[in-house]
Amino acid sequence: MRRTLTSALPHATPGEEVRLQGWVHRRRELAKVTFLVVRDRAGLAQVVLPAGTELPPEETPIEVVGTATANAQAPGGVEVTDATVTALGEAADTPAVELWRPTLETGLPTMLDHAATTWRHPVQRAKWEVAAASLRGFRETLDAQDFTEVHSPKLVEQATESGATVFEVDYFGRPAYLAQSPQFYKQVLVGIFERVYEVGPVFRAEPHDTVRHLAEYVSLDVELGFVRDHHEVMECLRDVVAGMVEGVRRYAGAAVERLGIDVPDVPEKIPTLHFRDALEIAGAPSDEPDLSPAHERALGEWAMAEHGSDFVFVEGYPTANRAFYSHPDPEDPRWSRSFDLIFRGIELVSGAQRMHRYDEYVRTLEQRGYPYAPYASYVEAFRRGIPPHGGFAIGLERWVGRLVEAPNIREVTLFPRDLHRLAP
């Protein structure tokens, strides 16, 4: 007999014999009857058993064979009666959290210590269903636009972006580093594939302990060549975010419902502010070099009030304050062809057109007082003909975190890594 998922049980013919597999989600012993709630990847189902039936403890994997029976009170209108319950593994130890409760009332450290159990909760699990659906939408959008998926090495010889925040690795007796981003690789890969994306881990030895930072997270990196300027990169990003939203709607509808979240609409044209105007709207002094979280919140409110948009682009950040490979605005090089995408008041994505000429790189390193040697192999690559290009990076956990309104990014990370946490 084939397995019936709990989501298919409401469609079973009454009287039909069915076979469920899943976990003991909850046992309820009443005077005249015992209720068993079975949880599988698709949802929950109710099984009715005689009073006094011995059942294995919560979280034990089981198989239930019984009769599909209409009952308006049961979830989905169908329950299983005349059932035989068989354990498919050992009787589970009582979990540290009560997974059958509608919401978990446990502190975050306990939840993370027991992540492999905690995230079984249907509402908790939904966050990674949303993440997976977002990734499907991300890739579908870029595949349709002729991008090539690549994988760049995570073990690198040089700490290119900023030496202070890299993890050092003992690489066969010599030092190597964990890549902070695929920045170098995705830029040179434009020379091969024109358009590339990568989904992979990035590593930041951030010594601070905040609700927004992780030592390891999943970065969605995109880079495309033959662009006019950063606006073409922003158009691509708009399509990518719209694709991610569409992915969530299409592939994680049930998870969205369980989470009770509001999936945003992505406008055809996302409202766009120059950095100078953004400062003014945020009520910041005109000589601020960057936007603070408070400014970003204000801009999020402005975008919603003025344009009914959950998203707002800020472009033209001060060149001196962006990564050195950002392309300066040719008309006024104090400003750069860079942008951030703010989603509901939080910076979600950073991107830019990059410089593509060797000379510009050499000059910029000099101006910033950076030594040439650590950047040599990166910069030399621009002698081999790299076209105008740009790109962006989306932090997967940050995206999901904002979407589900998680107060701490660790709540949307299966097994977070930070200053204090390296397990499970």
Give the residue, chosen from 65, 254, 261, 414, that forms a contact with a second copy under the rule CB under 8 A.
414
Pairing of strands 272-274, 311-315: parallel
Q: Measured from the CB atom, is 112 or 342 closer to a second copy?
A: 112
Q: Measured from the CB atom, is 131 or 245 closer to a second copy?
A: 131
Measured CA to CA, the distance from residue 88 to residue 66 in angstroms comes to 16
Minimum distance, C-beta of residue 205 to a second copy, in the bound complex (Å):
7
Binding residues for a second copy restricted to 76-135, rule: CB under 8 A = 88-90, 92-93, 95, 116-117, 119-120, 125, 128-129, 131-132, 135
Q: Measured from the CB atom, is 33 or 419 closer to a second copy?
A: 419
Give yes or no for residue 136 binding a second copy (CB under 8 A): yes
Q: Binding pattern to a second copy, positions 191-230, x when CB under 8 A?
A: xxxxx---xxx-x-x-x-------xx-x------xx----
Minimum distance, C-beta of residue 200 to a second copy, in the bound complex (Å):
6
Q: Which stretch binds a second copy (CB under 8 A): 101-109, 259-267, 338-346, 409-417?
A: 409-417
Residue pair 84/65 in contact by the 8 Å Cβ criterion:
yes
User: Closest Cα to residue 142, out of 289, 286, 240?
Assistant: 240
Q: Kindly determine how many residues on this chain lie close enough to bind a second copy according to the rule CB under 8 A.
A: 90
Give the residue, chosen from 16, 29, 82, 149, that forms a contact with a second copy under the rule CB under 8 A.
149
Look-up of token digits 């010599």? 174
Give the residue, chosen from 13, 28, 33, 171, that forms a contact with a second copy under the rule CB under 8 A.
171
Give yes or no for residue 331 binding a second copy (CB under 8 A): no
Residue pair 184/378 in contact by the 8 Å Cβ criterion:
yes
Torsion on CA atoms 313, 388, 180, 162, rounded to nearest 10: -90
Give the residue, chosen from 302, 335, 339, 382, that forms a contact with a second copy under the rule CB under 8 A.
382
331 phi, psi to nearest 5 deg: -80, -25
Residue pair 389/190 in contact by the 8 Å Cβ criterion:
yes
Binding residues for a second copy restricted to 309-328, rule: CB under 8 A = none
Helix/strand/coil for 159:
coil
Give yes or no for residue 356 binding a second copy (CB under 8 A): yes
Measured CA to CA, the distance from residue 223 to residue 227 in angstroms comes to 10
Give yes or no for residue 65 binding a second copy (CB under 8 A): no
Q: Measured from the CB atom, is 100 or 119 closer to a second copy?
A: 119
Per-residue HEC secondary structure of 1-45 comes to: CCCCCCCCHHHCCCCCEEEEEEEEEEEEECCCEEEEEEEECCEEE
Give the residue, chosen from 105, 170, 287, 331, that forms a contact with a second copy under the rule CB under 8 A.
170
Give yes or no for residue 386 binding a second copy (CB under 8 A): yes
**Residue 404: CB partners within 8 Å, gap ≥ 6?**
127, 130, 259, 261, 412
Give yes or no for residue 144 binding a second copy (CB under 8 A): no
